[in-house]
Amino acid sequence: DAGITQSPRHKVTETGTPVTLRCHQTENHRYMYWYRQDPGHGLRLIHYSYGVKDTDKGEVSDGYSVSRSKTEDFLLTLESATSSQTSVYFCAISEGASSGTDTQYFGPGTRLTVL
């Protein structure tokens, strides 16, 4: 299994509070991703990173920011949590497309509840 951990695994917070989720990898992969998973919506990409300090938006980036100061860590921050951000959040990693193909590997997920 790919070495990907997420912390915390569960969190309950209140509307308006800041929340930071952490993804840590031991694979030295270049790309890291944050997804959210909601019933009826499958997986939706929030943000991704293609290197240290290099990030870009996904399809549902509003209300989220990310940072990557080290290869192994990718942080997702909700500046002011809202109930619509209650979800399960998954981190994923991939090596990058030097060979023309690539594979994503997923972390165990963080279940976030915003009251």
CB of 20 to other proteins, least distance (A): 19
By beta-carbon proximity to other proteins, the closer residue of 79 and 94 is 94
Instruction: Please tell me what DSSP assigns to residue 69.
Output: E
- Give per-residue burial for 55-90: e unless 16+ CB within 10 Å, then b: beebebbeebebebeeebebbbebeebeeebbbebb
Q: Which residues pair with 55 in a beta bridge?
A: 49
Edge-first strand order for the sheet with 64-70 is: 4-7, 19-25, 73-78, 64-70
By beta-carbon proximity to other proteins, the closer residue of 2 and 65 is 2
CB of 46 to other proteins, least distance (A): 13
CB of 15 to other proteins, least distance (A): 25
By beta-carbon proximity to other proteins, the closer residue of 9 and 80 is 9
Q: What is the distance in angstroms between the CA of the first residue and the CA of the last residue of the chain?
A: 34
By beta-carbon proximity to other proteins, the closer residue of 9 and 70 is 9
CB of 76 to other proteins, least distance (A): 15
Residues that bind other proteins (CB under 8 A): 1, 4, 33, 40-43, 45, 90, 92, 94, 97, 101-109
